[in-house]
Structure 1
Amino acid sequence: MPQAMKVILLLLFGQYVYSQEECIKSSVVSCNDCIKSGPGCTWCQDLRFIKPGEPEAVRCDTEKKLREKGCPPGKIINPPSTSDFRQNRPLSGSERTNNPVQVQPQEIELNLRPGHAYTFKLKFKRAVGYPVDLYYLMDLSYSMDDDLKNVKNLGKEILKNLRKITEDARIGFGSFVDKTLLPFTDTTEEKLKKPCPAKAQECQPAFGYQHVLSLTKDEKQFNEMVSTQKISGNLDTPEGGLDAIMQVVTCVNEIGWGNSTRLLVLATDAGFHMAGDGKLAGILEPNQETCRLDKNNMYSMSNTWDYPSVGQIARKLEEQNIQPIFAVTEDVSQIYKELSKLIPKSEVGVLSTDSSNVVKLIEDAYNRLSSNIIVTHDGLPKDISVTFTSNCEGGEKPSDKGTCNNVAIGQEVIFSVTVKAAKCLTKESFNIGPLGFNEKLKVSVKTRCECECDNQEGVHPYCNSQGTVVCGTCSCKPGFLGQKCECSLGQKDEATLKAQCRKDNGTECEGRGDCVCGVCKCHQTEGGKSYYGLHCECDDEHCEKYQNKLCGGKGDCRCGECKCNEGYEGTACQCMKSDESCLTGETVCHGRGKCVCNQCVCERGYKGLRCDTCPTCELPCQVSGSCVECKAFGTGPFEKNCTASCTHLEVIVVENLGRKDCRVKDREGCWMSFSMTVQDGFDKYTVNVLKDRECPEGPNVALIVGGSLAGVALIGLLLLILIKAIFYFKDLKEWKRFEKEAQRRQWAKSENPLFQKATTTVANPAFTGDS
């Protein structure tokens, strides 16, 4: 059926749509399990439907297949999804009413099959004379001085234009500048009292946001209250517009929002601060999204809470069904156009330099907002999905939002709402409705996860008089179990008996049989044969095929594996036995693999057509060193049991060696050089060893001893000369010091006073004086 035709049928009849083409089931043992498996699953409760040996899961299938298998139509359980319109007042007509109805129905309860997609109609019609509330939020920074003068006389004109649409129109007013903290506002005492330039005659103290006038029908009161407003000022260019919007949206009672089309006009010539900018002034606490006006209707948390984020503003506007109109100057219009993309049901209009065109701007924006209908949901529970289509142009494709553009007052549009529950769940509810309107449809969702069958009371012979029939299956009395309550538990409990039917703690009887008193009773295969094995794990119909024949027609299938006839081999018996291409002399595949289907299947890393090479193998030089030493030279650790320990090596001693694969030291420290050639099989080698080993020469004892003694004598002589030199230089130093001291001494020239000349003269009488 074409998609367009399906959409038309949905619009006309509000029917539910689901696939009956397939039923994907697993672990189904009851009717409840079946209808939870998928939207296409139905259950046959006819007692005669099950054949001997068949599982209860056969009862679960699509309705078409159950009928083909012989289930009477009256015995097929297929709970449909249903709806109950709890409140369904008709849409308002062309006449004006005090409580117009624009959305139909107003409350619906859905009882859904898991996986079924149920579709119903939602009608919408813009009512004549629907109330309008407009709150005018103005930037009172000094650059808006000229604009304020014009706005003071706007109340009458705005209401006059709104009353062309509806007589029930109200208007309110509020103003904002910015946070009164550096760097947003000059915080000197004088500047806080008068933040305007010196030339300004009238100026009110700095402030964040102030609610001036609640929503009223009295344009005179609006003009009087606005006329008392004075301009103010701040330092930086961006303003606290988002702070002000958050208060206007959350202070529902203070503003006086009613059951109406809610419009918020933001008039400014500057950009806006957003979440995170408050850190510049040391504000770290996020915006709490609550109303905080003091007794003077001033925003009391302006200097405590950070600016709100754009996401917070968008969410709160949608929650309160408030549609913002950004009336901004040309130089900042692009900023607010980007902001408008993030806020559904919002408009941007360009103000003239003195805001003289604001009335026309509001009127045009209101018409655009009201004529573009966007239907969506809020508070959607987990595991429930909703899509929309409409009878409007471009609304035929399912989407998470239903749209209709250019809807005139009194024009009725229809949205198809498709609801699907992914699984069984408790009762859930959510709302659906057009953005910007307070009227919503309340949707309650329940799921149908239990079968409603016409069961007979009391025990039934079908269940061996040991149980009752529930939707065609037996519900056994305590102490009995089995498909027909044929098994008595005795001393074993039910869990123990069922565990005996599980292989490796898996599914009972591999899903191919029934567990009867702890023993698997296997079912028949699709080919009419039976499953077999302790846990019904085997069958003879699912082996590999060759040329579309089971086991190539050259063998028998046994428990999933082919048992080939004599002369044939392969996983599907696809080839004759032959070793012709695998022969390598007296061996097959060099003894490093098996010949399967006349091709070598190599092992342990060997490659090639006949397992010739091993790219990842390395020659065992060091490991083979001891065996080479004992077989070639009769020495080494294997000297006594060389033959028994080194059977894998065939060692040949040669005079010359063509290539030196290995160079290994023997036990005596000599270097052995040898080459290794791989033999057939694994770890077998032919070793050619060079006859002459490279041994280090022995030491010259006489030279070492003589050299040692000469060295000792030389060292002793050098030590004696060194000591003699030290004493000589020490004595020489002392002598020079003595001589130096002697030169410095002064000797006395007078006689020693202790010395006296002799005073007695003795004459020799014999001396005559003659010589």
Structure 2
Amino acid sequence: MDPNNCVWCAEDNWKDYRCKSVDTKDWCPTHRINPTSSINVTEDKSFSSDLGKTVQIRPQQYNVDLRIGQQINFNFSYDAAKNYPVDIYFLIDVSNSMYEIKKRVADQSKRIFLTLSNLTNNVYLGLGTFVEKNVLPFTSEITSNDTAYSFKHHVKLTESYDEFKTVVSKTPLRKNYDEPESALDALAQVMACKEEIGWRTQSRKIVVLLTDASFHVAGDGKAGGIIKPYDGKCYTKNGVYLNEAKMDYPSVGIINKLARDEQIIVVFAVESKVQNHYTKLTHALRHSFCTTYDSSDMDEILKNIYEVYTQLPLNTPVEITQKIKLEVKSEYMKKMDITFEPDCYTSEGNECNVKKGEQINFTGTIKLLDQVPASNFTLDVLIGGIKEKLTLNMNVINKCNCPTVKNSTDCSSFGNRRCGICECYPGRYGGECECTATTSGRRSDNATCIAPGDTTTCSGHGFCHCGTCNCRDGYNGQFCECNVNSCKMDASGAACSGHGLCACGVCTCTSSEWIGPDCSCYKPNTPCLVDGKVCNNRGTCECGSCKCQAVEVWDARWYQDKRCSVMPCADCHNRQCDLLKSCARCHHTGGECTQCHHKIRINVTQTLNDYNLNNTNWNICYFDTKNICYSRFMYRYDNSDYSIEMVVQTDSDCAQSYYMFGGIFLLTLILIGIVTLVAWKLLVDARDRQEYTRFKKQQEEDMSETCVNPRFRPPTMTFNNPAFKRGSLFRNN
């Protein structure tokens, strides 16, 4: 049951629980006590814009009676005062790289002033500058005219923008060594030195920090030998920060505290290259944000501050929209859930826009989540940037408001009756004040019903009667500290595995067959027996289950059943042969075989043919001998005592080796012949090619000119007939 949603039964002689859920039916029909939260206004001044008497939040104070677990609503309004003073302090980085920005601020000081005048006609401007600590290694020279400094205050908050412009223009630039600047040093002094800067008591306070570099943080001062932490106080005299060489840079936490305490809005107007650094810094600082000064007009920065949206020319009246952010302060924030409508509070960036002259109404909801040490405390609701607040005086409801019957006879006339129970006088205790502390030897009812090291009566599971705890159902023990279901549950949800009784988290087993802290261990070894042997003599029986020994190194089998029987496997034969070969080879030669495990029983025979090789229990393996021959052995498992029987053959089979070596020799000869023929062929071919090449070359040379062979003889001969006469042919005719 949720204790924050219970009601109290104040009926007399009530035997049931007095506290139950508000939704419980058919219980305590006539006298239920259910305290409810309430709220009333105790201070409500009217809105005012009078200087020194400004009121912008209404009402200013509530009294709240709040019960744990309940929520209550409260309303308040915000109306920005007309011409509410604005103090804006410009904090400018005057390192050499900031020349253009400093000149732009000076040139546009009138536009800056007129922009702020659109919000209020009561504007004060101030000016301070910073560079860097005048300490090595943060600055390169500490004696030159360009000496750097952490902070200088030049113009106290004033309404004269001419003075502001003049000082900005004449402020000289400085140089430093490293890129990070002393921005946080300067910012801390501006917020801490209220009189030096001239902050007004009632004003919206804004610091605009302009820089083009990142910033040093706490701890960086160690590089210059500065280790004393900054304490959040003002050390600026006559416009100069005196402790820049004595104190380290401020922490972000100190900056945030100063800004929150003084309700100062911080705006970082920076160059785009370092915007990411300052955006991360704004996440740690309430009521701060980051923008860039890349725009041509510096008054745009101030328009971002107040969210000024206008298309009108300068000096034309504009409609100004202000962003506001709610803040809540209380020492018990983690114990409460607070929301607002409209939501200007919860998440980062949740802000509300308020037009100038417009009133905004808020509805807050507050819920107390848990008990707090104090019965009364305060909660403040603030609006960022103004030092007004709404205060809620919180009264925690932790008692029932019931009528009291003094010296009630229902309390044995030794106590008062309130809310259906007795509040006993000193020296008496008990449900009806029937117990006397002096006669019982007990100083109080609660003292004897509270367990050592506890603070709750009967451990919160019973009630105390005359020094003795009466426990509710489901609990037992001297102080009702024991839950009857506090023992370990099994899968079915039974305590002590259904074999015992639970007492204060300890099981008492009801049967001798079940033991263990949760009675889940079955003591008899019956489930572990195999042919009368516990776990096949290869393990121990624990809680009805076998814890088996590991398989021996000589055994190629790997699987054991739940009773430690080693089971055969189809692919184990080759591995088993490999495991036994060394032992078989040793016994084959007749040596001293110390490598053979004592569980291997070995017989040696001349030939395995003497045995029945068809017996399926035997498995045959082959191994090579020293003389490059082969032999055999066979083995079989004996599960009766987890061993292996082995028979080794002493005869060797060398025929296979002879055939093998003869074949190898023959193949070698054939291979040599083939190689020889191939080599001869290659050599002949190479010689023929060489001769042919030489012939072709000689032929080409011989064809280049005509040659006569002196030994050449023509194949024909011509003979002349001396008696032949050419003309005789004609004469015969």
**Same fold flag (TM > 0.5):** yes
Q: TM-score scaled to structure 2, two decimals?
A: 0.61
Q: TM-score scaled to structure 1, two decimals?
A: 0.58
Q: Distance in 2 between matches of 1:535 and 1:234?
A: 73
Deviation (angstroms), 1:454: 0.5
2:9 to 20, 25, 44: 44
For 1:214, the equivalent position in structure 2 comes to 156
Q: Distance in 2 between matches of 1:349 and 1:541?
A: 63
SS at match of 1:280: helix
For 1:63, the equivalent position in structure 2 comes to 22
For 1:359, the equivalent position in structure 2 comes to 299
1:378 to 329, 348, 352: 329
Q: How does 1:596-745 map to 2 (within 5 A)?
A: 600=544, 660=598
Over 3 Å counting, the alpha-carbon distance change for 1:583 and 1:172 in structure 2 is closer
Q: Distance in 2 between matches of 1:572 and 1:183?
A: 71
For 1:633, the equivalent position in structure 2 comes to none
2:138 to 184, 200, 213: 184
Mean CA deviation greater in 239-248 or 375-384: 375-384
Asked if structure 2 preserves the Cα contact closer than 8 Å seen for 1:46 and 1:71, the reply is: no
Asked if structure 2 preserves the Cα contact closer than 8 Å seen for 1:239 and 1:272, the reply is: yes
Q: Distance in 2 between matches of 1:263 and 1:128?
A: 18
Asked if structure 2 preserves the Cα contact closer than 8 Å seen for 1:119 and 1:418, the reply is: yes
Asked if structure 1 preserves the Cα contact closer than 8 Å seen for 2:332 and 2:372, the reply is: no
1:267 to 199, 202, 210: 210
SS at match of 1:64: coil
Over 3 Å counting, the alpha-carbon distance change for 1:602 and 1:327 in structure 2 is closer
Q: Distance in 2 between matches of 1:240 and 1:543?
A: 64
Asked if structure 1 preserves the Cα contact closer than 8 Å seen for 2:82 and 2:120, the reply is: yes
SS at match of 2:223: helix
Deviation (angstroms), 1:208: 2.7
Asked if structure 2 preserves the Cα contact closer than 8 Å seen for 1:91 and 1:103, the reply is: yes
- The answer as to 2:38 corresponding to 1:82 is yes
SS at match of 1:175: strand
Q: How does 1:144-159 map to 2 (within 5 A)?
A: 144-159=98-113
Q: How does 1:411-426 map to 2 (within 5 A)?
A: 411-420=359-368, 422-426=370-374
Q: Distance in 2 between matches of 1:512 and 1:328?
A: 64
Deviation (angstroms), 1:593: 13
Letter in 2 for 1:326: F
Deviation (angstroms), 1:265: 1.6
Deviation (angstroms), 1:440: 1.9
Q: Distance in 2 between matches of 1:207 and 1:540?
A: 75
Deviation (angstroms), 1:359: 2.3
For 1:648, the equivalent position in structure 2 comes to none
Q: Distance in 2 between matches of 1:270 and 1:550?
A: 70
Asked if structure 2 preserves the Cα contact closer than 8 Å seen for 1:425 and 1:446, the reply is: no
For 1:431, the equivalent position in structure 2 comes to 380
For 2:432, the equivalent position in structure 1 comes to 484
- Cα deviation, 1:383-406, whole Å, max 9, x if unaligned, reads 5324323236xx7xx936793343
Over 3 Å counting, the alpha-carbon distance change for 1:559 and 1:470 in structure 2 is same
- Cα deviation, 1:684-742, whole Å, max 9, x if unaligned, reads x999xxxxxxxxxxxxxxxxxxxxxxxxxxxxxxxxxxxxxxxxxxxxxxxxxxxxxxx
Identity %: 28
Q: Distance in 2 between matches of 1:249 and 1:431?
A: 22
Over 3 Å counting, the alpha-carbon distance change for 1:102 and 1:403 in structure 2 is farther
For 2:342, the equivalent position in structure 1 comes to 391
Q: Distance in 2 between matches of 1:589 and 1:558?
A: 33
For 1:642, the equivalent position in structure 2 comes to none
For 2:255, the equivalent position in structure 1 comes to 313
For 2:405, the equivalent position in structure 1 comes to 456
SS at match of 2:247: coil
Deviation (angstroms), 1:504: 10
Over 3 Å counting, the alpha-carbon distance change for 1:337 and 1:609 in structure 2 is closer
- Cα deviation, 1:244-265, whole Å, max 9, x if unaligned, reads 1111111112212222222212
Letter in 1 for 2:288: S
Over 3 Å counting, the alpha-carbon distance change for 1:605 and 1:457 in structure 2 is farther
For 2:226, the equivalent position in structure 1 comes to 283
Over 3 Å counting, the alpha-carbon distance change for 1:289 and 1:439 in structure 2 is same
Asked if structure 2 preserves the Cα contact closer than 8 Å seen for 1:509 and 1:536, the reply is: yes
Asked if structure 1 preserves the Cα contact closer than 8 Å seen for 2:80 and 2:359, the reply is: yes
Deviation (angstroms), 1:131: 2.2
Asked if structure 2 preserves the Cα contact closer than 8 Å seen for 1:383 and 1:423, the reply is: no
Asked if structure 1 preserves the Cα contact closer than 8 Å seen for 2:116 and 2:302, the reply is: no
Deviation (angstroms), 1:542: 12
Deviation (angstroms), 1:80: 1.9
For 1:298, the equivalent position in structure 2 comes to 240
Asked if structure 2 preserves the Cα contact closer than 8 Å seen for 1:155 and 1:171, the reply is: no
Deviation (angstroms), 1:331: 4.3
Q: Distance in 1 between matches of 2:379 and 2:539?
A: 69
For 1:703, the equivalent position in structure 2 comes to none
Deviation (angstroms), 1:453: 1.4
- Cα deviation, 1:612-639, whole Å, max 9, x if unaligned, reads 689xxxxxxxxxxxxxxxxxxxxxxxxx
Asked if structure 1 preserves the Cα contact closer than 8 Å seen for 2:429 and 2:436, the reply is: yes
For 2:59, the equivalent position in structure 1 comes to 105
For 1:442, the equivalent position in structure 2 comes to 391
Q: Distance in 1 between matches of 2:477 and 2:353?
A: 72
Asked if structure 1 preserves the Cα contact closer than 8 Å seen for 2:536 and 2:565, the reply is: no
Letter in 2 for 1:399: T
Deviation (angstroms), 1:322: 1.7
Over 3 Å counting, the alpha-carbon distance change for 1:437 and 1:417 in structure 2 is farther
Deviation (angstroms), 1:297: 1.5
Q: Distance in 2 between matches of 1:347 and 1:500?
A: 61
For 1:716, the equivalent position in structure 2 comes to none
Letter in 1 for 2:353: N
Over 3 Å counting, the alpha-carbon distance change for 1:474 and 1:135 in structure 2 is same
SS at match of 1:315: helix
Deviation (angstroms), 1:179: 1.6
Asked if structure 2 preserves the Cα contact closer than 8 Å seen for 1:263 and 1:322, the reply is: yes
For 2:631, the equivalent position in structure 1 comes to none
Unaligned runs of 5+ in 2: 309-319, 512-516, 551-559, 567-595, 601-639, 644-733
Q: Distance in 2 between matches of 1:505 and 1:326?
A: 55
Q: How does 1:521-532 map to 2 (within 5 A)?
A: none
Letter in 2 for 1:385: M
Over 3 Å counting, the alpha-carbon distance change for 1:543 and 1:43 in structure 2 is same
For 2:351, the equivalent position in structure 1 comes to 404
Q: Distance in 2 between matches of 1:592 and 1:497?
A: 62
Q: Distance in 2 between matches of 1:536 and 1:589?
A: 46
Asked if structure 2 preserves the Cα contact closer than 8 Å seen for 1:402 and 1:415, the reply is: no
Q: Distance in 2 between matches of 1:505 and 1:414?
A: 48
Letter in 2 for 1:286: P
- Cα deviation, 1:316-359, whole Å, max 9, x if unaligned, reads 2233222222333444444434444443433444335xx96212
- Cα deviation, 1:144-175, whole Å, max 9, x if unaligned, reads 34544454454433222211121121111112
Asked if structure 1 preserves the Cα contact closer than 8 Å seen for 2:528 and 2:546, the reply is: no
Q: Distance in 2 between matches of 1:540 and 1:110?
A: 43
Asked if structure 2 preserves the Cα contact closer than 8 Å seen for 1:212 and 1:297, the reply is: yes
Deviation (angstroms), 1:588: 9.3
Letter in 1 for 2:304: D
Q: Distance in 2 between matches of 1:497 and 1:87?
A: 46
Q: Distance in 1 between matches of 2:263 and 2:26?
A: 55
Deviation (angstroms), 1:372: 2.9
For 1:350, the equivalent position in structure 2 comes to 292
Deviation (angstroms), 1:135: 0.8
SS at match of 1:377: strand
